[in-house]
Structure 1
């Protein structure tokens, strides 16, 4: 009976873990379902049915389990991985990055999202401020925007001159070839959404107090300069899509499908496999009959309001 009880206990524990996982995902997605009613209705009418929530969660959990295997393989083989996430504002880059990192070790998989360069950084070699964030052996780095700011927002908004942009296009292919020759696996994703989809997502942010922080004056300018961004994107693809580091476009109008497709594709690019693990056993607690746990002052405790 003890064996059966143990198996049932393990099943109960696993179910509780899965329920907790779903709670985390629902919490992350809560903002998408608590939209201003009019915007929500318009949004739903303009979108085909997405993946059923239960199917989406099952697929996501399976992919996240594979990401853990990938992380173990990267660590075991001292591999170095850089994944670039580019795309228009509100294209969903942050959402997929959250799902990739959600179950991974933050000491091995980290997100880099650099602010606008300082005056000192502006005087440096353009790629210099990105170099310190490149991975060491056993690390995965996810770049939430990257050196492609120069051929995108900096170019469109006039923060970089034509000569600087041309120099970037001349340098970036060789820079990326250098990274690949050094042993870095470099993957570049562009998240693609339509004009109408971006407009809808901006409206949702305007009407959702929990998301208004995501809107910046630069985001609003990107609406005005949609066509300029399109031209910049097309030239970026034409001049930086090299065999050593090609671009991959993620169709991102449907957020859930975009997340699943991107993670699945990333896993397909890296030849990871199972790595050996030492068996983990929980040691017995050392019990000292002479030890008496002290009562701590009540003011040290966080009030239990919930």
Structure 2
């Protein structure tokens, strides 16, 4: 939950959230719908972009939010999990929610939840993720955001973020992960994640396997939804100067040095550029210079993050086999001598 704080309100919030943490993961939308209704449905005050997928969804969300901010769009960004402090999950225009605002928001929700439980409107307490999602929606309303970029927590169909009505749904590469909740096949995992798509909506997908592409094709046909594939919509151009550019159908991004390292981040950036093109036709015009500046400035700690000083430390949160392969390829390309020493830790279920 982050470093302990002396502020009594923050400590009360931490104790409450720890009590919810023991509930674990419980997928479903009933609780979050009832909770949001009790606080005036803040998620209906602004449009949203939903970003699901197995790998790259946090990076794409961070890139898109950075671009929108530089285009002058007041943007809320909700991501998970956090690295050091819970307030990292909720940000407006690149600034995390102040700890006192976070504590006040969560404790206000706690009081609402207790009332709903007493009245029978809620039969069971919401999970930690459901409460933090509701807190994000409420904070974005209070901060008058024009657009919210929401990273899906787990799966898609029954994730708490999926109460939003997305202006655009994004699916980053799908791989095996969280099989105990989503199943053991790519097709099944993709089908669950595609629950973020709405009838008549727009789906933007990153690079996918043929198995996943077939599920996307079938789902979009059934939903009457448009499907845009980022690898076909945006071309990555490597310039002789060591910079890169992105050529879309309507946006030509000036050369830049990406803020995030790794070949896979170029694919993620192409997805973010394609998202900008789609949003441009839906009331959010984004100039190429804003795309360039956002992609150059974006920071996303724990993703091939090189720490300054000696010895050099490279931090990466690869959390499944597909992400580990990306990390291994990055290290192979660096071809350092002597070979780096690797410290690796993982949870039992990975």
TM normalised by structure 2 equals 0.25
Q: Higher relative contact order at CA 8 Å, sep ≥6: structure 1 or structure 2?
A: 1
Structure showing the higher helix proportion among its residues: 1
Structure showing the higher strand proportion among its residues: 2
Higher Cα radius of gyration: 1
